[in-house]
Structure 1
C-alpha cells in the first residue's frame, strides 16, 4: 500500500497540524554566556536546566531548520530509560558500581521527563506503559532469556523486569508465533513532536533564545560562525547528534545511522480486540535487524526499523523522505508480527538519523580548557538519554561536583570511524549479515546465528 512519503517530515508533525513555521534567524553578531548548536532534545534540555539553575545566564540556541526538526520530532516515541549499550565497554574504564549508577540514572529519566512535562504543562500524549521485547522463534527466545539474565546480573531490581512465557506474552499482544517476551516496567510512550515543541516553548519562557533558520558553518573556541552572524561565548555545546557529521571537521565522529517508520490508519475496536495490546506497551522484537513500535493515542500502529541503514559519506535524508523499498520492508515486519493488520492502509512513512559512535556507546563531555561540550551518540535511545545529557552538561558547565558528572559515560574518548568507502561497506555488510542471520533463525536455527556475531565483530557493535 502506497504511503504518503512527502509533505511532513514525520507523522508526528502531521498529527499536530503540520510542520511548524520556523522562528526568526540570528539577527547578527552577538555575545552569550552559553551557545548551543542544535535545538533538538539535547540542546533544549541543556538550555532548560541551565536556565533553571542560573536564570541570569544568556543562553542562545542555533538551529538550521526549526526546533525539533531532526530525530527529536521523528523518533518512535519510546521514553524507555533503557540501557542497551555495552556495560563491559564502560566497565573497562570505571567500576561495576559506576556502571550500575549510570544504568540507574538512565532509568530515572522517565520520571524526570514526566515531571517536567507536568510542571511545564506539556501535553505530549505521555502514558506510563511497559516495554515488551518479543521472541518469535527459538533463537530469539534464547536471546530474550539472556537479556533478562543480564539485567538481573547487573543489579536491575527484580520488580523492574519480568520474563513471560508464550501464553502470558500472547495475552499482552497477540503476536504471530510468539515464544515469550521480556517485560521492562517503568517506561512510557510519548508523542515526540509534541514533547520537543512543548520543551522548546518552556525553554523560551525560561528566557533562552532560539534562533532558527540559522546554519552553523564553524565551531571553535569561544566562537560559533553561522550564515547569519557570529556568536561569541565562553561555553559552546554541540548538540547535533545524528547531524554531527555535517559540521566541518566532524565527518567521522559519529555515524548518521538511518531509521525509518510507517504508521497505519486507525484500527477499529474489533481489530484491537483481536490484537490485544490493551496496555499500550512499547513493542520491539529480538531479531538482529530489530524493530520498534507503539500504539498511538488515536489507535494507530507505528512500526520502525533501519531500512537503508547508512548513506555514503555520512549523508542524511531529505526532510524525512524515505524509499518505497524501506516502506515495504517495514510493512513486511508489521505483517510478520501482526498478520491481523493485512488490510490496513499505511498512512505515512518517514525517516531520520541517529548518532552512532565507533564503539556504539553514548557519551557526554565538557572540556574546561576550550569551553566546548557535547552529548549524543545515543544509538536510538535519545528520548530519555538526552534528558540525562542536559542535566549532566548543566552540572559540567557550572562546575558542580555531582554524581552525574562522575558517571562513566562522561568525557569518554572514542576513536573515529574509518574513512569511506570503509564506513559504507562496514555498516551495509553488518546489516546484510543481520538479515541473513534473521532468515536462518526464522528457518529453524535453534541458536543465535554466528553470522550476527561476525557482523558485530566487523563493526565493533
Structure 2
C-alpha cells in the first residue's frame, strides 16, 4: 500500500466487509442435502430474498418457503453497502412516468419514502439492532458547476411531488461542514444503518418464522418451478431470483444486469474534537454532486465509512467475491476523504472492501412475476437497494399470493429491459463512461456548468 495512506495495525483488505468485524464473518450454515418440494423457493439470502420470505410467512404462515444461498445470508451487497436507508428512487422518475404517467411515478416515490419507516418499524418489532438513526442526508457541491446541478436537482424534483419538506437547499455547514462546500441540500428521508446487523437480524427473524435458509448452496439453474443445485433440486410453485449483482453468474443471464463495483474504506474511531470541528453532531448521511461521486456515514462507534467507485467493472461480468480492493482505489478514497475533511488525516484506515450492485440497461429497478412459469425476480437497484429491497419484498409477496394491491400496480412492476451489449462493448462502454466522468469532474473545477463530457458519458450508457 502507498505510504500516503496510513493503515491501522489491524488493517484488513476484503474479508467481505468491515461490517462483520465485530461479529466475525459467519461460516455458512448447513447446505441443502436432498431434493425438496416447497411453495416458494427464493434464490439469494440478501435483503431482497430475506424481505420476501419475511413478508410471505407473516401473511401466510402455512406456506413452505425455502431460501438457497451460495455463501451465507448477507454475503453480497446486503452486507457490504454504505448503510444508506434512503428514499431516493432506484431509477428515473421520467422513465417510470413515460410508461405509466406522472401520478404513478409520484406514487412510487412516496412508497419509497414510506419504506424507510417500514424497515425501522420491522427492526423495532423483531428486536433487530442495526444502529438505525434517521437523521437525514446532506448532499454537498464543491464547485460552481456542481452547485448549479444541485440547485437544478431541487427544482427538477418538485413535479414529482418532492416538496420543500422532502428536500431543500441549506447553507453549506448548516448540518455539517465539508471543506470547499459552496452549496448543500438536506432531506429527512434517509437513515443510517449497519448493513450486516440488518442482514443477520433479518435472517434470524425469517428463521424464527419457520423459513429454512440453506447456506453454502450454489444454484446452478433456475427454470420454471425448480431451482437446481449440486446437492438437490427444489421444486416449487414459485421460484424467485434475488441475486442482484451476482445475477450474471447464472446460466443465460450474463447480460441481464451489469455487476458494478463500489468500494469503501473506514477509519479508526475519530475523537470528539473532530466531530465538533466538522459540526457532524448526528448520524446524517453525506453525498456529493460529483459525477464520480462519493457516499459516507458516521458509524455508531464514531468512524467515517467512506465509499465511491473503484474499478467499476470487470471484463465478462466477473465478480471478486471476497471484496478485495485495489491499492489505487484505497489511495483515491483516502485522498478524497481527507480533502473533504482535512482533520481526518490524523486518523488511519482500518478496513477496505468492495462489492457489486446490479445495474439494468436503463438504470431502473424492477419487480416481475410470471404466473405461468412461476418465475419471479426483483433487483437492478443501482445502489439504492437498502430501502428498495423492502418495497420489493412486499410487492413480491402480493404478486406471489395473487393479490391485486396498490403495490402490484406500481410502475416498476413488470418492466421489461433489454440486455446489456456483448463483450467487449459493455466493458468499453462502462470504462469509457467512468473515464469521462473523472475528466469531467476535473474540468468542472474551473467551469460554471456541467461538462459536455459528462453528458456524453450519460448517453453512452443510458444513465
TM over 0.5: yes
Could you tell which deviates more after superposition, 116-125 or 148-157? 148-157
Could you tell which deviates more after superposition, 361-370 or 178-187? 178-187
For residue 16 of structure 2, the aligned residue among 9, 28, 40 is 9
Could you tell which deviates more after superposition, 141-150 or 427-436? 141-150
Aligned to 1:251: 254
Go from structure 1 to structure 2 and tell me whether the alpha carbon gap of 1:228 and 1:2 turns closer, same or farther (over 3 Å shift): farther
Aligned to 2:358: 355
Contact preservation (8 Å) 2:14, 2:354: no
| Cα deviation 1:300-321 (Å, max 9, x = unaligned) | 0011011110000000113111
1:33 aligns with 2:39: yes
Instruction: Please give the residue correspondences for 1:447-458 in structure 2 after superposition, counting only pairs within 5 Å.
Output: 447-458=449-460
Give the deviation of 1:2 after TM superposition. Answer: 5.4
**RMSD, aligned α-carbons:** 1.0
Which whole-Å CA distance do the structure 2 matches of 1:228 and 1:70 have between them? 22
1:364 aligns with 2:370: no
Aligned to 1:267: 270
For residue 140 of structure 1, the aligned residue among 138, 146, 157 is 146
For residue 48 of structure 1, the aligned residue among 35, 49, 54 is 54
For residue 78 of structure 1, the aligned residue among 84, 107, 123 is 84
Unaligned runs of 5+ in 1: none
For residue 294 of structure 1, the aligned residue among 288, 293, 297 is 297
Instruction: Please give the residue correspondences for 1:72-221 in structure 2 after superposition, counting only pairs within 5 Å.
Output: 72-83=78-89, 85-165=91-171, 169-221=172-224
Unaligned runs of 5+ in 2: none
Paired residue secondary structure (1:170): coil
Could you tell which deviates more after superposition, 359-368 or 332-341? 332-341
Contact preservation (8 Å) 1:5, 1:321: no
Give the deviation of 1:329 after TM superposition. Answer: 1.0
Give the deviation of 1:339 after TM superposition. Answer: 1.4
Give the deviation of 1:174 after TM superposition. Answer: 1.6
Give the deviation of 1:219 after TM superposition. Answer: 0.7
| Cα deviation 1:266-295 (Å, max 9, x = unaligned) | 001112111111122100000001110000
Which whole-Å CA distance do the structure 1 matches of 2:298 and 2:351 have between them? 15
Which whole-Å CA distance do the structure 2 matches of 1:205 and 1:89 have between them? 39
| Cα deviation 1:78-123 (Å, max 9, x = unaligned) | 0012115211111121111000000111111110000000000000
Contact preservation (8 Å) 1:8, 1:18: no
Instruction: Please give the residue correspondences for 1:375-454 in structure 2 after superposition, counting only pairs within 5 Å.
Output: 375-442=378-445, 444-454=446-456
